[in-house]
């Protein structure tokens, strides 16, 4: 059966949702934002939606435990920070979900896993089973063993690939900025882009960065790229701020909507 194409007005009815949150939104001084994020996810979960969270933040969460003030440059220390931080991060999510009696399932992937047919099928099978059991999968890149991805990648692309993997209706990409703008939002004349038709090349738009410097690796450019990947597979995409995730999942007219392919 072909799934119905999600529209901007029907976001609140999405049956399968992937939400991606960046490091800067849930680590360091913003670690207390995990509870509001979980509250929003559970609201969608409670109406019957299947929810998958793609969460960055392993390295940033692990840094204080390694007494690091800034993101390490060398790969081995990044991997060590990720190893410690992933453990703490999943504990924080599960501790928050425990308030609702919901169990999280940790899924660690690399982009390569989703490009290899056998690994992709295994990941898809595991994800479908978790959703069928009403477990809330929390996906992160496997930073402890990743090499190229840990240096140059980010979880926006991974989230788009997960949305494609599970045939999601909706992908919500969260950051520190409420929407995509015609130019970096701190510059004069920047205007919010409320809707991007499928195939729109966004000509004339100056793509700036999004995120707290020194913590995350993503930006507006990676979110646009990820949104196009997901939209091409038929998933509607909403780009907005982490602080607005409740409104986003509730279908309010916020953020930037990327229309999916028909």
Q: Where are the domains of the chain?
A: 15-258
Say if residue 155 carries a ligand binding annotation: yes
Check whether 215 has a pLDDT greater than 80: no
Assign 213 a pLDDT band (cuts: 50, 70, 90).
Answer: very low
Residue 45's Cα: distance from chain center in Å?
A: 16
Say if residue 95 carries a ligand binding annotation: no
- Whole-number Å distance between alpha carbons of 242 and 16: 19
Q: Which two tokens stand for residue 98?
A: 């425990």
CB 88 within 8 A of CB 61: yes
CB neighbour list of residue 142: distance below 8 Å, 6 or more residues apart: 108, 109, 110, 113
Check whether 219 has a pLDDT greater than 80: no
Say if residue 10 carries a ligand binding annotation: no
Q: 21-49, pLDDT tens digit by residue?
A: 999 999 999 999 999 999 999 999 999 99
Say if residue 56 carries a ligand binding annotation: yes
Say if residue 262 carries a ligand binding annotation: no
Quote the mean pLDDT of the chain.
Answer: 90
DSSP per position, 172-189:
EEEESSSSEESS-TTSTT
Q: Which two tokens stand for residue 238?
A: 């909403």
Q: 94-138, pLDDT tens digit by residue?
A: 999 999 999 999 999 987 788 889 999 999 999 999 999 999 999
Q: Which of the pair, 239 or 205, is modelled with greater confidence?
A: 239
Q: Which of the pair, 207 or 165, is modelled with greater confidence?
A: 165
The domain 15-258 having CATH identifier 3.40.1160.10: the answer here is yes
- Whole-number Å distance between alpha carbons of 128 and 107: 12
Share of the chain above pLDDT 70, in %: 92
Cα torsion for 145, 56, 140, 142, to the nearest 10°? 0
Check whether 13 has a pLDDT greater than 70: yes
Instruction: Output the pLDDT for position 216.
Output: 44
Say if residue 176 carries a ligand binding annotation: yes
């Amino acid at each position: 059966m072909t799934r119905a194409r999600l529209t901007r007005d029907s976001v609140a009815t999405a049956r399968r949702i992937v939400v991606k949150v960046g490091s800067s939104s849930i680590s360091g001084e913003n670690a207390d934002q995990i509870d509001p994020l979980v509250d929003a996810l559970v609201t969608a979960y409670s109406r019957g939606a299947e929810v998958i969270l793609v969460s960055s933040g392993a390295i940033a969460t692990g840094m204080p435990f390694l007494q690091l003030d800034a993101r390490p440059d060398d790969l081995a220390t990044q991997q060590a920070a990720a190893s410690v931080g992933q453990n703490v991060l999943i504990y924080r999510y599960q501790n928050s979900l425990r308030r609702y009696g919901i169990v999280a399932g940790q899924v660690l992937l690399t982009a390569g896993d989703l490009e290899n047919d056998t690994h992709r099928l295994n990941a898809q099978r595991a994800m479908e089973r978790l959703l069928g059991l009403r477990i809330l999968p929390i996906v992160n890149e496997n930073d402890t063993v990743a090499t190229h991805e840990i240096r140059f990648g980010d979880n926006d692309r991974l989230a788009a690939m997960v949305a494609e993997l599970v045939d999601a209706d909706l992908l919500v990409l969260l950051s520190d900025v409420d929407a995509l703008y015609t130019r970096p939002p701190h510059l004069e004349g920047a205007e919010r882009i409320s809707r991007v038709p499928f195939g729109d090349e966004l000509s004339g738009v100056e793509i700036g960065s999004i995120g707290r410097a020194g913590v995350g690796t993503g930006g507006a450019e990676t979110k646009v790229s990820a949104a196009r990947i997901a939209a091409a597979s038929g998933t509607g995409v909403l780009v907005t701020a982490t602080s607005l995730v409740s409104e986003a999942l509730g279908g309010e007219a916020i953020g930037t909507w990327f229309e999916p392919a028909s």
